[in-house]
Structure 1
């Protein structure tokens, strides 16, 4: 029984990491569609460690120009 529980936890953990990878890809594509690239966009590897990962999306660093472009895009969606 313990072995089955461990396999289930591993399956759930892998699913969480896959879902985070999908979210990063979707965000990257959405940003690219409006002309914004976040070069450091990725999953934080530390948040995926352990038996029960809680993947975090790391937006990373970007240039001032990219930050301003992203702000302009967001401002356009609030109107």
Structure 2
């Protein structure tokens, strides 16, 4: 039963990672930033019990500055 629980947990984690990629991609698009390589890191699936991580990939200097500006603005709004 423990193996089935681990497998079920892994599936949930992988689904959450996929959802996080979509959410992050949408949020970044909202501030005019596109990270073309944004994805779930395939190597993070290589464990016996996968623990997905996101690979943010390539980010231009302009994209980084837009992210910084958005984060600073969000910090001021708090």
Shorter-chain TM band: 0.7 to 0.9
For normalisation by structure 1, the TM-score amounts to 0.83
Gaps of 5+ in 1: none
Q: Which residue of 2 aligns with 1:40?
A: 37
Residue correspondences, number? 76
Gaps of 5+ in 2: none
Runs of 4 or more consecutive aligned structure 1 residues displaced over 6 Å after TM superposition:
none
Question: Deviations 1:20-47 (Å, cap 9, x if unpaired)?
Answer: 1011111111111121111111111111
For normalisation by structure 2, the TM-score amounts to 0.83
Q: Which residue of 2 aligns with 1:14?
A: 11
**Bigger CA radius of gyration:** 1
CA distance in 2, matches of 1:9, 1:51: 9
CA distance in 2, matches of 1:6, 1:15: 14
